[in-house]
Amino acid sequence: MAEPRNLVELFLEVVRRRGDAVALRYKRDGRWLGITWNEWAAEVKRLAWAFVKMGLPPRGVVTIAAKNRHEWVTVDLAVQMAGGILVPIYPTLLAAEAQYITNNCQARIAVVEDAKQLAKVAVGADTLPHLQQIILIDGAADDPRVLSYKAFRRLGDDLDETDLAARYRDIGPGDIVTMVYTSGTTGLPKGAMLTHDNFLFISDAVLHFFEIAPGDVVLSFLPLSHIYARAGEFYPSLRAGIEICFAESIDKLSENLVEVRPTILCTVPRVLEKVYAAIIAKTAVAPAITRKLFTWALAVGRESAPYREKNQPLPAWLSLQHRLAKALVYDKIAARFGGRVRLLAVAGAPMSREIAEYFYALDVLTLEAYGMTECSDPATLNTLRRHRFGTVGLPLPGVEIKIAPDGEILMRSRAVFAGYFNLPEATAETLVDGWLHTGDIGEFDPDGMLRITDRKKDLIVTSGGKNIAPQKIESMLIADPFIAQAVVLGDKLKYLTALIVPAMDALAPVVREQGFALPERAAIATCQPAVDLIRGRIAEINQRLAKFETVKDFRLLDHDLTLESGELTPTLKVKRKVVQQKFASLIAEMYPEIPSD
């Protein structure tokens, strides 16, 4: 069979192969329900025809604001089948941000999950002049522009498969399939235009590195509005024809992992950092015999790691210990992820090498990847056979990467985007002679594994002229069991400081041992035993840093940095400018020589 020219042809070819096998699973009223490939295809066609009946023209734009659910991916493929372009909007965005994207992409139709998302776009024509109709997935609304999901589906009852096929057969590899607005850590979002060929290439490349086949199960919980979940997880899973399950929410993830027992899991470092902190906290209060057993198993894992990384057999005595540790400890850790995960991909933000090695010592291999919206994410991968902690692996087949004289990572491949929507100058700055300028700083190790050192815009240049990558120091800080989050500061200043979110669960038993009670979060900054403990931990970390990289002062924050509070991006990277503005008074305390405004 000829290679598919677009994602719709790819989808229909997989449907022909997989037929009545389960494609999607979701939980409703306490039960997991399944949708077969044939059922899914029928629903996609119905919705595609409904979009045509609504007047969506070829290359017309539809937005979607919803959490991960089977309707999300069905709408995605239906818009494609109708010849349209889907623009995802994070459900967590403020109304003004959602309206900016809806207006900027010139969307004609908006699909929203519920009344909360509806309120963001159900505004006057003076605010959203292009928007004509809104489809509400859950509930109903007394607004002539709003159509319930059930009513929308009924528009597809008189499906004309011949006319619909004419729509998607006219789609070429270079046609735009989606515009993903980069959340970024600074500035207004830009619509990155991605083509069918971008995603076809990435899906092929990922499957070249990973042996994914029917029988595998993926649990989807990262937002499909982000390129990582869609390009790195959804489309490769679709191409492989495997079962895709949708987690109820991030809060239900632990429960859903045990229920679904996935073999593939795509996650971000912050999720693993929380698991790491939970293991540390639970071990700290466990009976002495349990702590000794865990410490022994961790030591066995660390001793075994060099052999396993090189795919070498363990010495007999170590192999026996490792098998025993697996039965007594490692399998319990694996059970937290459902007990069957064989591919645990990590991307979206930098992964602490120390935490990755800690999990590996517990027989959990994390495979860090690297990419960005503009290269259809991912561009590099660690694999089961070739992985190295502290790197993001090897370039995918067909991806060229080189390092510019200033250290910036440049890349070229079929996955590179078509440019920013209606922003020719920004496109020209990012795409130069066919090379994508990533804005990331990196280097290759002797074996060709790529190491990311920092974002070009995040580099700190002290008043003494020292160039410092804060990412490296932050990774060392958050690898400490008493530190949950850290933001290093000091650009254009004499020395480095840090804002620290303490790991409260780990702090509590230690503070109690000293005869103190850990106060409420709001008072953590004034709890001297906690401050002294963190100061000591930072002093230990400073001993492993060059003098100009050491953290001279810090302040404890009384809450986690979160997506909801606007301090993190959807992949849980820190928005540095927002944090610096929000905590300006605390930062000023650490630089008393600088006059306050």
Rounded to the nearest 5°, which phi and psi values hold at 359?
A: -65, -40
How far apart, in Å, do the first and last CA atoms of the chain sit?
Answer: 68
- Which 8-state DSSP code applies to residue 314? P
Q: What is the pLDDT of residue 166?
A: 94
Residue 519 has pLDDT above 80, yes or no: no
Q: How does the average pLDDT of the chain come out, rounded?
A: 93
Domain 459-590 grouped into CATH 3.30.1490.190: no
Q: What is the pLDDT of residue 187?
A: 64
Average pLDDT over residues 40-51: 98
Out of 152-161, 175-184, 372-381, 437-446, least confident range: 175-184
Average pLDDT over residues 566-593: 87
Residue 185 has pLDDT above 50, yes or no: no
Distance CA 313, CA 311 (A): 7
Out of 90-104, 181-195, 435-449, least confident range: 181-195
CA-angle at 260, arms to 345 and 356, nearest 5°: 25
Task: Kindly state the percentage of the chain with pLDDT values over 70.
Answer: 98
- Assign residue 375 a region (left: φ > 0; alpha: ψ between -120 and 50; beta: otherwise): alpha
Average pLDDT over residues 245-262: 96
Choice between 563 and 437, residue whose per-residue pLDDT is larger:
437
Residues of the chain with CATH 3.40.50.980: 1-19+37-172
Residues of the chain with CATH 3.30.300.30: 459-590
Residue 596 has pLDDT above 60, yes or no: no
Kindly indicate the confidence band of residue 461, based on its pLDDT and cuts at 50, 70 and 90: confident
CATH of 1-19+37-172, one of 3.40.50.1860, 3.30.565.10, 3.40.50.980, 1.20.58.1690: 3.40.50.980
Query: Measuring CA to CA, which residue among 89, 399, 92, 377 is closest to residue 233?
Result: 377
Distance CA 327, CA 293 (A): 12
Query: Measuring CA to CA, which residue among 22, 346, 417, 49 is closest to residue 202?
Result: 417
Residue 230 has pLDDT above 80, yes or no: yes
Residue 90 has pLDDT above 90, yes or no: yes
